[in-house]
Each structure stands twice: as C-alpha cells, then as structure tokens.
Amino acid sequence: MKENEIQQRQAPPCLKRDDLPQPDLPRDTPEDTPAVQDPETTAPPIRLGSFAFQQIRSATAIVTYGGVRFLIDPWLGDKESVPGLPAAYEPTRRSPFHDLPLPISEITQVDAVIATHLHFDHFDEAAATVLPKDMPIFTQDGVDAATLRSRGFNDVRILRFNGTDFKGVTLYKVDCMHAAPGERGRLYEAYQMRGDACGVVMRHPDVEKALYLAGDTIWCDYVADAIHNFQPGVIVVNAAEATLRGFSPIIMGLHDLRKVLAYAPNATVVASHMDNVPHARLTRKDLRLFVGMNHLQQRLLVPEDGETLLF
Ligand SMILES: [Fe+2]
C-alpha cells in the first residue's frame, strides 16, 4: 500500500456537526493544569499527594500512585506483530502500529500489574513471557485469573467492587460495557471472545485525587455511577472509538467523551488507547482538533506514547 493511500484512510472520519464548539462543557482554570513531563525522562519526581500517569502504548500505561508502581494492560509485543482484523476500519493493517517507547525491562519494573481483561491488545503473549511469574497481577474475575494461573503466574488476585488493598493503595473494580447493549452478546459470540472487562479506581489516603481508569468501555450507567461514587480527579478513558464492521463502537469516541466531560466537570480526562489498533476510528490528531475547537486544553489531555503526566 502506498503512503498516500494510508493517509487517505486515516483521514478524520469522526468530526461531525455536533463536534463544533459548544458552550456547555465546563473548562478548567489554568492553575489546574497538570505538570507534563518530558517524554525522555522516565523517572519523574512525584510530589507528596500527587501521582503520575505514563502513557506507554495503546492501553498500556504505568501509574505511580501512593508510591506504588502499577503496569496497566501490558501489550508488549513488537510493532506489527498482530495480523490485521478483517472487520476493522483498516482491515489489513498490522498492529500495534508503533514500537514501545521504552525498553521492556524498564516497563516491567513495577510492583504489580492490572489486567482489565485479556483481549489481545491488553495482555499478550509477550507479556505472559516476560513478566516474572511471581508478579502480583490483578484481574477482573476468576475466569481471567484461571487463564493467567494456567500460564504459570502464581500471585494472581481478583479485583473487588468493595476494594482490595495493595501496599496501601485501595483498588476498586468498576463495571464497564465493552460494546453497545443489545449488540454485546452477538459481537463477542461472532468473534469467539469474552466480552467482559472492567475499570479500576485507585485511592490512597495521602493522594489528593482519586484516579479512575475506565478501561475498554462505552459511556454507560456504570461509568456515570463510578464518577458519581468516587468523584475522581482524573479519568483515563480509552478513547480510540474502536469499531468492528456491523456493530457500534466498543470503546468511547468523541460522542462519549463529551458525556464524560459534562458529567465530571471537575475532573481532568486523559485519552488513552490511541493510534495503535486497526479498528480505531478516532486518532490523536482528530482528538486534538476537537480539544482545540472546544477550548479543552486543560480538561482533556492526549499524551504521546512515553509521555508522563503528573497530577
Ligand atoms: Fe482494547
């Protein structure tokens, strides 16, 4: 495929009339702007009461919260190691689109892993191979826990809605919807995959802001309830609007982001899961256009792979 053909297929598919500037989205004041770390620097100083979110690639991230380093959804395979998806927006394009921004040896230097689910772009063969078998891994339920134990991991733990302690950080499981109601069963039956996934909230007595990792979900009552119940200061949203032909989006895009921003007016929203899977319909480029058009520079952050945000 020629380069200009690729660029054509990546042309913004998502900006519609209702994405034009609208006055109803609350904006943060400049003093709420989080510090942004140089992507070259991988060990940011973290002030007491704050935390760090480092975008790695796609949904993979490192969160340093309450002094504990968590690796989220490790998809650690090489660039283009996964074949195309026939029902994707770019069906023949291999993924992930980019190399990891850091050496795997650095990415896996963590205290624990959180696997929101085990789809190929959240926990892959490379992760199963390179992670130490005694690494604590938090999973959504017993089914995923059994899968990981069968791969030799011997410290697999299950997230709980009422909270699970890990080194002083409380992790709360949050429900999510990884497809539209009414389509979810049919979609995952067709693809012979589990449709279950989860989000996670982190809290620590010394950290000012709760962090809500929404996971692979569309906007739904589960997300609204989590925002209402935990009042997170930061919400990480998987925002690539991944979509398979014949179905509605299975993660958030602009339409859902607008709902998150409106429902959580005091939160900073971070867009993750960007620019690495062929079924995505929203790119960082389009999302930054949306941010600019709506004057959301301090409310909706779109980090590059490797970039660290301090909150
Ligand atoms: Fe995903």
Task: Say which residues have a Cβ less than 8 Å from residue 228's Cβ, sequence separation at least 6.
Answer: none
CA of 35 to the centre of ligand 1 (A): 27
Number of domains forming the structure of the chain: 1
Q: Report yes or no: 41 and 51 within 8 Å, Cβ to Cβ.
A: no
Asked whether residue 23 is domain-assigned, the answer is no
Asked whether residue 164 is domain-assigned, the answer is yes
Average pLDDT for residues 129-143, to the nearest whole number? 98
pLDDT tens, residue by residue, 207-216: 999 999 999 9
CA of 285 to the centre of ligand 1 (A): 19
CA of 119 to the centre of ligand 1 (A): 7
CA of 170 to the centre of ligand 1 (A): 24
pLDDT band, residue 44 (cuts 50/70/90): low
CA of 242 to the centre of ligand 1 (A): 8
Asked whether residue 70 is domain-assigned, the answer is yes
Reduced to 3 states (helix: H, G, I; strand: E, B; else coil), residue 90 is coil
Asked whether residue 273 is domain-assigned, the answer is yes
How many percent of the chain have pLDDT more than 90?
Answer: 82
Task: Say which residues have a Cβ less than 8 Å from residue 229's Cβ, sequence separation at least 6.
Answer: none
CA of 144 to the centre of ligand 1 (A): 15
How many percent of the chain have pLDDT more than 70?
Answer: 86
Query: Domain of 177?
Result: 48-310
CA dihedral 83, 86, 90, 94 (to 10 degrees): 0
Lowest mean pLDDT across 8-17, 131-140, 188-197, 238-247: 8-17
Average model confidence (pLDDT) across the chain: 89
CA of 269 to the centre of ligand 1 (A): 18
Statement: residue 45 has pLDDT above 80: no
**Would you state the structure tokens that stand for residue 68, as one six-digit string?**
């504990």
CA of 94 to the centre of ligand 1 (A): 15
CA of 59 to the centre of ligand 1 (A): 7
What is residue 210's predicted lDDT score, i.e. its pLDDT? Answer: 98
What is residue 185's predicted lDDT score, i.e. its pLDDT? Answer: 93
Residue 158, by phi and psi: left (phi above 0), alpha (psi -120 to 50) or beta?
Answer: beta
CA dihedral 284, 220, 178, 247 (to 10 degrees): -80
CA of 34 to the centre of ligand 1 (A): 26
Asked whether residue 125 is domain-assigned, the answer is yes
Asked whether residue 256 is domain-assigned, the answer is yes
Asked whether residue 302 is domain-assigned, the answer is yes
Lowest mean pLDDT across 32-46, 81-95, 146-160, 292-306: 32-46
pLDDT tens, residue by residue, 267-276: 999 999 999 9
Statement: residue 236 has pLDDT above 50: yes
CA of 216 to the centre of ligand 1 (A): 6
Lowest mean pLDDT across 16-25, 90-99, 116-125: 16-25
Asked whether residue 79 is domain-assigned, the answer is yes
What is residue 42's predicted lDDT score, i.e. its pLDDT? Answer: 53
CATH number at 84 reads 3.60.15.10
CA of 121 to the centre of ligand 1 (A): 5
Single pTM value for the model: 0.86
**Would you state the structure tokens that stand for residue 129, as one six-digit string?**
């191979």
CA of 116 to the centre of ligand 1 (A): 9
Residue 182, by phi and psi: left (phi above 0), alpha (psi -120 to 50) or beta?
Answer: left
Average pLDDT for residues 210-223, to the nearest whole number? 98
CA of 29 to the centre of ligand 1 (A): 32
Task: Say which residues have a Cβ less than 8 Å from residue 93's Cβ, sequence separation at least 6.
Answer: 6, 84, 278
Average pLDDT for residues 169-181, to the nearest whole number? 97
Statement: residue 32 has pLDDT above 90: no
CA of 122 to the centre of ligand 1 (A): 6
CA of 142 to the centre of ligand 1 (A): 20
Statement: residue 46 has pLDDT above 80: no
